[in-house]
Amino acid sequence: LLVMLDELSPVPYHEQLSNILREQIASGAIEHRVPSLSTLSQEYGVSRNTVIHALATLESEGLIVTVQGRGTFVVKR
């Protein structure tokens, strides 16, 4: 169920992760809340900073919003 990152791919981790999450949002697999930074970091085996990078991409695309102290959420459209 959990798509893992490919360390041999030329696509960087942060981009692989944003691609995965974008797809999960599009498919409805993630409906409301995006897992926390720590959770994503552990599940995908990348650093917290890398997760932040991935989420920043999705936020700049307007797909999610992050709220300090609360979490990260899918933008309804």
Partner DNA sequence: GAGAATTTGTACGTATGTATG
Partner DNA sequence: ACATACATACGTACAAATTCT
Smallest distance from the beta carbon of 17 to DNA, in angstroms?
A: 8
Tell me: does residue 42 bind DNA (CB under 7 A): no
CA-wise closest residue to 5 among 31, 40, 34: 40
Residue 1 or 67: the one with the smaller Cβ distance to DNA is 67
Q: How far is the C-alpha of 40 from the C-alpha of 64, rounded, in Å? A: 15
Tell me: does residue 8 bind DNA (CB under 7 A): no
Residue 9: partners with Cβ closer than 8 Å, 6 or more residues away: 16
Tell me: does residue 14 bind DNA (CB under 7 A): yes
Residue 10 or 28: the one with the smaller Cβ distance to DNA is 10
